[in-house]
Amino acid sequence: GLPELVSRSDIARAKRIANPGCYATAAQIGIAPLVEFLGGQPTVFGVSGYSGAGTKPSPKNDVENLRENLIPYSLTDHIHEREISSQLGVNVAFIPHVASWFQGIHHTISVPLDRTFTSRDIRQIYQDRYAGEKLVKVTGEPPSVKAISGKHGVEVGGFGVHSSGKRVVVCATIDNLLKGAATQCLQNMNLALGFAETPSPVSTAASSPLAVPQPFGISTVPTLYTAQLNTAGADGSSSSSDALAGHAQPKDSQDTTDMGSRILERLEEEEIAQLARLEEDSAA
């Protein structure tokens, strides 16, 4: 269920969709364009905010323990090491760490190459691979956790090539709670249910908020969502706007409650219709 790397038509037809892990999503996007040029095993040095350490109290999500600290864990055979390797079809070493910030992941990925490349060559490979992907941004400079936190995409950059030309270091960042979890889940749900994967209007920048689809054709969307929508200007820049111009917006909590009631009514209608179809199929 990683739409940028897996056939979207396969996701749309699937009966079961596994949402990729947060570490695994950023690592796969960071390595995939170079798989055919690998000269050895890539190594991923991953650092996550403590929201990725789970809700059960532990030293890895203890704010005081994390203060001015960096904690390595599961140094080999981490579940995402196996996931990354399995999905890419190559062995990848993954070394996870947890840091003192709340959300956001940074990967520093060292990739041996089987031939000589320049940094410009590598960047072009990534730009070609992710051209048109709304939630992947390729940058020249290494991306930062601070810039990706609270955003919906993945940023990939750096592309520092060793003097030999046969090793490159790629950096990738992702918000573990968004593209690493909820955003990607919405992408997969939208594909499976026949909605637009990232409904318009949405900017092509990875840092743009993800537009939320109008459920079951109902035109009223909570203000919480519409406030997050962006439209792209003629110059490609993004600016906050009323992205749902022409659609009724809830003016108060009563409007939102009424909208919720209509959604529930529509869901019940859909469920009743589906049950009726199943009964007809059984009778046939």
Q: Is residue 190 pLDDT above 90, yes or no? A: yes
| Bigger pLDDT: 249 vs 74 | 74
**Residue-wise pLDDT tens digits, 73-120:** 999 999 999 999 999 999 999 999 999 999 999 999 999 999 999 999
Which is the catalytic residue, given 22, 92, 161, 178? 22
The reported pLDDT for the residue numbered 272 is: 63
Three-class DSSP labels, 183-250 = HHHHHHHHHHHCCCCCCCCCCCCCCCCCCCCCHHHCCCCCHHHHCCCEEECCCCCEEECCCCCCCCCC
Q: Is residue 51 pLDDT above 50, yes or no? A: yes
Q: Is residue 277 pLDDT above 80, yes or no? A: no
Tell me whether residue 22 is one of the annotated catalytic residues: yes
Q: Which residue has the tokens 């939208």?
A: 190
Distance CA 282, CA 266 (A): 24
CB 174 within 8 A of CB 16: no
Distance CA 209, CA 151 (A): 6
The reported pLDDT for the residue numbered 134 is: 94
The reported pLDDT for the residue numbered 283 is: 59
**Residue-wise pLDDT tens digits, 255-276:** 444 544 555 555 556 656 666 6
The reported pLDDT for the residue numbered 199 is: 67
| Bigger pLDDT: 18 vs 275 | 18
Three-class DSSP labels, the chain = CCCCCCCHHHHHHCCCCCCCCHHHHHHHHHHHHHHHHECCCCEEEEEECHHHHCCCCCHHHCHHHHCCCCEECCCCCCHHHHHHHHHHCCCCEEEEEECCCCCCEEEEEEEEECCCCCHHHHHHHHHHHCCCCCCEEECCCCCCHHHHCCCCCEEEEEEEECCCCCEEEEEEEECCCHHHHHHHHHHHHHHHHCCCCCCCCCCCCCCCCCCCCCHHHCCCCCHHHHCCCEEECCCCCEEECCCCCCCCCCCCHHHHHHHHHHHHHHHHHHHHHHHHHHHHHHHC
| Bigger pLDDT: 161 vs 240 | 161
- Smallest CA-to-CA distance from 24 within 174, 131, 170 is with 174
Q: Is residue 231 pLDDT above 80, yes or no? A: no
The reported pLDDT for the residue numbered 271 is: 59
Arithmetic mean of pLDDT over the chain: 80
Distance CA 167, CA 156 (A): 17
The reported pLDDT for the residue numbered 269 is: 63
**Residue-wise pLDDT tens digits, 122-138:** 999 999 999 999 999 99
Distance (Å) of CA 113 to CA 35, 69, 169, 281: 9, 33, 11, 56
Q: Indicate the pLDDT class of residue 281, thresholds 50, 70 and 90.
A: low
Which of 187-196, 209-218, 232-241 is predicted least confidently?
Answer: 232-241
- Smallest CA-to-CA distance from 222 within 257, 265, 191 is with 257
Instruction: Count CB-CB contacts under 10 A for residue 87.
Output: 19
Distance CA 245, CA 232 (A): 14
CATH topology for the 8-193 domain: Dihydrodipicolinate Reductase; domain 2 (3.30.360)
Q: Is residue 55 pLDDT above 90, yes or no? A: no
Q: Is residue 250 pLDDT above 90, yes or no? A: no
Distance CA 206, CA 147 (A): 10
Distance CA 134, CA 132 (A): 6
- What share of the chain in percent tops pLDDT 90? 65
Domain boundaries, the chain: 8-193
